[in-house]
Structure 1
Amino acid sequence: MNRTTHTYSDIWNLDVFFSGGSDSQEFRKHLDTLEKKKNDFADNALAFHPPQSAKDGDLVWSLIEEAKEVMLYLRQAGAFVSCLEAQNMNDRKADSLRGEVTSLSADFSSTFTKFQQQLADCTEEVWNELLQHERLNEITFVLIEWRQKAKDKLSSTEESLIQALAVDGYHGWGQMYDTIVGAMEITHDGKTLSVGQANNLLSSSDEKKRKEVFDKLEKAWGDNEELFARTLNHLGGFRLNVYKKRGWDQLMKEPLEYNRMKQETLDAMWGAISKHKQPFVQYLDRKAKLIGKDKLDWYDLDAPVAESTSTMSYDEGAAFILKQFSLFGKEMESFAQRAFEDEWIEAEDRAGKRPGGFCTSFPLSDQSRIFMTYSGSMSNVSTLAHELGHAFHSYALKPMHTLNRNYAMNVAETASTFAEMIVADAAVKEAGTKEEKVALIEDKLQRSVAFFMNIHARYLFETRFYEEREKGIVSVEKLNELMVEAQKEGFADSLGEVHPRFWASKLHFYITGVPFYNFPYTFGYLFSLSIYAKALDSNESYEEKYMALLRDTAVMSVEELAMKHLGEDITKEAFWEKGINLCISDVEEFLELTK
């Protein structure tokens, strides 16, 4: 097939799952089936008592298989609703469906927690016998994780109460944030723009336009800052109260356990980054001079230093990605080909869509769906490759038991960044002119700055916000102050005007499903750089080894994963410095090209 002449749809197909969108009768039947499966599991799980001997292994397996079915149906439902919400922010029926799915999920979580705790309450001797069961030994890592988590939590009755109250409390506040942002509009050049569309203008080459849009956005966040502050305070307060009731005195306990990593690993990563920020400050200083300023302001971070003449239509972008994936491995190429041909991707550039991009999995259908807004830039091509990397991760895990596919966010970002790297590096190598090369290297460096400086600032802000929140409600003024301090430290004082209300503008601070939605991005970025370096050094195809690593992402800690597949100790700064040095070489090339 000649890829360059292929025409792909830039609108995804959701009807293959449930036809009719948010009015779908098929989806209504799916929710009814889900409710029945959830209730059946509840009846059986609530009658379950701590196992008395290895003979109970078959019953445990049977209940786990029932729970697995409910999980698959829940994920299918959650993915469908996420797609409906993203493709049209004004779909109120989708909002209603989200409430239903959240409620079903909370009910199931409550019962499942009780089951896990009953299972964990058996004696050490019986537990060890159960782990030898012919079927249960397949999910040993997950079972041990359950037992540890059950010991760390309150009684099943208390945990069920927390989950029930979280639907209208904790998660309700998270949804409130989406509602406020969805209603916000920015007027520019006589046009009414969503927040996402306005944010896209911050990468304009026109400084006046960037400044004007930034000021309007900052005013819009300011107009709603009391609502955002209240929302953030209630989310933080809920989380801290739950930790307190459980007797957890460490703020990072949940985020680290969720990401299956040690504090030493996190400290080593940030330690290495903090020691090597100077080259990136040099890059930002050079960029400032290139656009005629002494210091960059926040709204200049995404400004182009050279106009990239390289734009690609959606079909050309797809062809470019497929070509680069094919050079890495046939599995990756054929998988991406299927995603384009079978209309897995929503990329149309239109109003009314949610900002940003994501990939979500439909496990009952063995498919994924990718969401983004494609406008033809090389940055868009990289984003598309990034999301295809997420989808490929799910594909690589297909042979694994459902419970062995629950990888955490830090390794999720590894697969996506790896795919993005393949495409971004190829774009630089194929650049036709010096200006094109500068623009593409700068696009890579913007990502390094985002992971090493912007994400670091978010991490610093969130850590300090929780310290303040423990003392009481944190005022708007204090939130702005904490954000400015974090940005100055994160960016090593390299910026002029910063973004005090970034805490209000960033969805990640309001996500309830994942605690501390920041450092895993940086982990994934640097971890994937090490894998990418291994792939480049390999004399043979690395794809098989890469897929083997992906299959292990949900059945071991990240420290074990790195030792097994890379032979590296990631609790030491030396590991992280290897990845940072690759990014510093981009800085050096940029400085040389722009002398």
Structure 2
Amino acid sequence: MTCSATRHPIGDFLGAPQTTMPDTALASTGDGPDLGALPSWDLTDLYPGMDSAELKADLERMERASKDFYEKYATKLAGLDGNAFAAAIREYEHIDEVLSRVMSYAGLVYNGNMTDPTIAKFYQSAQERVNGISTHLVFFTLEINRLEDKVLDAKLKASKDLARYAPWLRDVRLFREHQLSDEVERLLHEKHVVGRAAWNRLFDETIASLRFPIGGKELTCAEALNRLSDRNPAVRKEAGAVIGRVMGDNIRLFALVTNTLAKDKEIDDKWRNYKAPTSARNLSNRVEDEVVDALAAAVKDAYPALSHRYYAMKAKWFGQDHLDYWDRNAPLPDDADRSIRWDEARDLVLGAYGRFSPDLAALGKRFFDNAWIDAPVRPGKAPGAFAHPTVPSVHPYLLVNYQGKTRDVMTLAHELGHGVHQILAGGQGHLLSDTPLTLAETASVFGEMLTFRALLDRETDPKRRKIMLASKVEDMLNTVVRQIAFFDFERRVHTERREGELTAERLGEIWMAVQTESLGPALRFDEGYRNYWSYIPHFIHSPFYVYAYAFGDCLVNSLYAVYQESETGFAEKYLAMLSAGGTLRHQELLAPFGLDASDPAFWQKGLNVIRGFVDELENQP
């Protein structure tokens, strides 16, 4: 699955930081089973169209407003009293929100069809225009960070209006030690659209244009990946080989993109004085390096007890000593995996949400009652799935590629969790609604768990329950083990890149090393699998994003255990946590549940849930 739960930076749409969890079931073509009427989103709540007068007027209005804002406040913040400073932040927030609305619209249109040249031109033009307008705003946070603590504290104490923005000011000032001069920051800001953003676009459009000849058809990347979970082993084997070959045919381009962006990040980290390649991401997630290192170490230590053990079991279920990589996500031999129509999927997910909290289900229902979800597969459409919050004055949108498999239902539950979280956090306003990635995965993974438990509880057939439990374990391994392996891959690549460019062959060697270590001796690979790193868009759009999945899964496992043990009041506390948006840190948000992510034992609690599921499978006939 893919998801994004964070508000994009101005001028750069990351509505899918294209954060795909690879090798999971994605979309199929329209020649499959009858899924009912699949909804497509209606983006007119943002703007009527790419050439609409409303969009043009907003851009012109914000161009004037940003210039006026600069003239009004540049070099003057220190002399403002508390109330005047609060008024300045409100003006900044308004401009930022309108520009974010523009880029949300442009990005969603683009993700709907990345191969249409007219749309691609519109998206690029919107990025360039918004980037140019927002250049006039760059000074604001830089100047805020030059204020002395005692000066800012005095302003906060003197103004209730300003005190409301204290969490935002706190987070802005996290980066004080890492900001550069105003001139350099403006230069980097203006060059972004022809730098990292351009390489992102090259990757996206290349992936969207690739075709994979499988079963006599020319398939998209999403459709090819879907064949890795086909019931027919011959189809899976062919898909595995074709994906490796097609990516291999383009591997020099993907190696160039990866090397260029890794070097770009190294230069940025050096100038900004980040001590490690992961430090900037951790700081933006409001989580300490030590907490992330403890998570990664705990998961890696658990590889033998989790993934190694499970895939050895799965190989035996297939009557083999080893499991070929193209069979890793294969349905179990007795798994019929019937097709689930869209209306049934909707009712399953909303029913699971409703049993936990009617209020949560009511929020989720709004996505289905309105045209806020884009479900069908289309040529050129972004693969996987994501939730994009747009701006609080509108509403989030969800993109999925719905095929009707159980995993697609779980993906819908996941993205809907993001959506309701984004609505609840939106009550904090544009600047305060942004949730760090580590906590942004909480609602999505919790929504998956609610849906899984609901499906499991209604199943009485022991064989079917075993299949469902195995499917859930595979999803959890994809979320925790696989993502930490990806995180390890990135760390190795970015560290080694500092010594010079990595060849495609070397990138493949690092990939194979982390895959062998994480998946275990039961998995069997061939040369084609060496190229599988190259289609994973996390690495391109958002370096080191991936550990947020593992963070969220382990957090939710611990959170769900508290829920099962609690009698009353949990749902209310849970909704309050989601409604906090970015106003509180993870320590403050988890304290009401008696949880502390800085405690090394915390991660073991989450991993023990997965271990318990594997134990249960191992003890079944």
Give the TM-score, by structure 1 length: 0.93
Give the alignment partner of residue 202 of structure 2, picking from 176, 179, 186: 176
SS at match of 1:304: coil
1:473 aligns with 2:473: no
Asked if structure 1 preserves the Cα contact closer than 8 Å seen for 2:353 and 2:450, the reply is yes
Q: 1:460 and 1:439, CA in 2 relative to 1: closer, same or farther beyond 3 A?
A: same
Please report how far the alpha carbon of residue 295 of structure 1 lies from its aligned counterpart in structure 2 after TM superposition: 1.5
- Aligned mate of 2:225, from 199, 202, 225: 199
Indicate the SS of the match to 1:302: coil
Q: Does 1:14 align with 2:40?
A: no
Question: Secondary structure at the residue paired with 1:126?
Answer: helix
Whether 1:99 aligns to 2:124 is yes
Distance of aligned partners of 1:240 and 1:309 in 2 relative to their CA distance in 1, 3 Å threshold: closer
Select which of 599, 606, 614 maps to 1:587.
614
Following the alignment from structure 2 to structure 1, what is the Cα–Cα distance between the partners of residues 264 and 380? 32
C-alpha contact (below 8 Å) 1:110/1:159 kept by paired residues: no
Asked if the contact 2:41–2:374 (Cα under 8 Å) also holds between the matched residues in 1, the reply is yes
After alignment, is 25-34 or 467-476 more displaced? 25-34
Secondary structure of the residue that 1:11 maps to in structure 2? coil
- The equivalences for 1:273-312 within 5 A come to 273-280=299-306, 281-305=308-332, 306-312=334-340
Cα distance change on mapping 1:405 and 1:364 into 2, 3 Å: closer
* Alpha-carbon displacement from aligned partner over 1:100-154 (angstroms, at most 9, x marks no partner): 3323443455443311222222333212101222111112122122223133211
Distance 1:10 1:435 in 2: 33
Q: Which residue of 2 aligns with 1:129?
A: 154
1:15-65 deviation per Cα after TM superposition (whole angstroms, max 9, x unaligned): 333234x454443444334434333333334x333413xx52233222211
1:58–1:8 Cα change, 3 Å: farther
Instruction: Report what 1:156 is aligned to.
Output: 182
Which of 234, 238, 246 lines up with 1:212 in the alignment? 238
1:37 to 56, 65, 81: 65
Deviation, structure 1 residue 538: 1.8
| Mapped partners of 1:248, 1:90: distance in 2 | 37
**Residue 296 of structure 1 contacts residue 494 of structure 1 at CA under 8 Å; is this kept in 2?**
yes
Q: Which consecutive unaligned segments of at least 5 residues does structure 1 have?
A: 1-6
Partner Cα separation in structure 1 for residue 572 and residue 291 of structure 2: 27
Q: Whole-Å Cα distance in 2 between the matches of residues 436 and 40 of structure 1? A: 64
Q: Against the structure 1 CA distance between its residues 122 and 27, is the aligned structure 2 distance closer, same or farther, given a 3 Å change threshold? A: closer
SS in 1 for 2:396: strand
CA distance in 2, matches of 1:93, 1:39: 30
Give the match's secondary structure for 1:590: helix
Query: 2:384 aligns to what?
Result: 356
Map 1:22-421 to 2 at 5 A.
22-45=50-73, 47-52=74-79, 55-107=80-132, 110-132=135-157, 133-280=159-306, 281-305=308-332, 306-363=334-391, 365-421=393-449
* Distance in 1 between residues matched to 2:136 and 2:58, nearest whole Å: 20
Q: Distance in 1 between matches of 2:182 and 2:251?
A: 38
Q: Which moved more, 1:224-233 or 1:547-556?
A: 547-556
Closer, same or farther in 2 for the Cα pair 1:522/1:360, shift >3 Å? same
1-side partners of 2:132 and 2:289: how far apart? 32
Q: After superposing the two structures, state which structure 1 stretch, 437-446 or 313-322, moved more.
A: 437-446
**1:309 CA drift (Å):** 4.1
Asked if the contact 2:274/2:280 (under 8 Å) is kept, the reply is no
1:500 aligns with 2:519: no
Contact 1:461–1:486 (CA under 8 A) maintained in structure 2: yes
State the distance in 1 between where 2:190 and 2:92 align.
Answer: 19
For 1:302, give the aligned amino acid: N
SS of 2:213's equivalent in the other structure is strand
How many Å apart are 1:364 and its aligned residue?
5.3
Q: Which residue of 1 aligns with 2:599?
A: 572
Q: How does 1:403-552 map to 2 (within 5 A)?
A: 403-497=431-525, 499-511=529-541, 514-552=542-580
Distance of 2:592 and 2:99 partners within structure 1: 32
Give 1:453 deviation, angstroms: 2.2
2:252 aligned partner, one-letter code: E
What's the CA shift string for 1:323-378, capped at 9, x where partnerless? 11111111111111111111211112444422100111232543111111112111
The change in CA–CA distance for 1:222 and 1:309 in structure 2 (over 3 A counts) is: closer
Kept in 2, the 8 Å contact 1:84–1:91? The answer is: no
Deviation at 1:9, TM superposition (A): 5.3
Q: Is the Cα–Cα contact under 8 Å of residues 329 and 541 in structure 1 kept in the other structure?
A: no
For 1:440 and 1:42, how far apart are their aligned partners in 2?
57
Residues 514-523 or 36-45, more deviating: 36-45
Percent of aligned pairs with the same residue? 26
Alignment coverage as a number of residue pairs: 581
Contact kept, 8 Å, 2:337 with 2:405, in 1: the verdict is no
Question: Match for 1:357: what amino acid?
Answer: A
Q: What amino acid does structure 1 have at the position aligned with 2:69?
A: F
The structural deviation recorded for 1:277 is: 2.4
Residues of 1 paired with 2:423 and 2:379: CA distance?
Answer: 31
CA contact (8 A) 1:76 1:361 kept: no
- Determine helix, strand or coil for the equivalent of 2:95: helix
Contact persistence 2:323–2:522 (CA under 8 A)? yes
SS of the aligned residue for 2:544 comes to coil
Offset from partner CA, 1:58-83 (integer Å, 9 cap, x none) = 33222211211122122222222232
CA distance in 2, matches of 1:367, 1:50: 33
The aligned residue for residue 4 of structure 1 is none
Distance 1:8 1:61, change over 3 A: farther
The residue type paired with residue 131 of structure 2 is A
Give, as a single letter, the amino acid of the residue that structure 2 aligns with 1:97: F
Listed one character per residue, the Cα deviations across residues 541-589 of structure 1 (whole Å, up to 9, x for unaligned) are 5221001112334123323433x23222322221111111111221122
Partner residue of 2:9? none
Tell me the secondary structure at the aligned position of residue 428 of structure 2.
Answer: coil
Letter in 2 for 1:333: A
AA in 2 matched with 1:245: W
Structure 1 counterpart of 2:32: none
In structure 2, do the counterparts of structure 1 residues 175 and 295 end up closer, same or farther at CA, with 3 Å as the change threshold?
same
Alpha carbons of structure 1 residues 221 and 430: separation in structure 2 relative to 1, 3 Å: same
Higher relative contact order (CA 8 A, sep 6+): 2
Structure 2 Cα separation of the partners of residues 400 and 179 of structure 1: 35
1:3 matched to which residue of 2?
none
- C-alpha RMSD over aligned residues: 2.0
For residues 484-539 of structure 1, what are the alpha-carbon distances to aligned partners after superposition, in whole Å with 9 as ceiling and x for unaligned? Answer: 1111222244421163122211011110xx33121111101111222222222221
Q: For 1:9 and 1:31, how far apart are their aligned partners in 2?
A: 33
Cα deviation for residue 444 of structure 1 reads 0.9
**Residue type at the aligned position of 1:214:** G
Q: Is the 8 A contact 1:256 1:262 kept in 2?
A: yes
Q: Against the structure 1 CA distance between its residues 470 and 193, is the aligned structure 2 distance closer, same or farther, given a 3 Å change threshold?
A: same
CA distance in 2 between counterparts of 1:23 and 1:238 reads 34
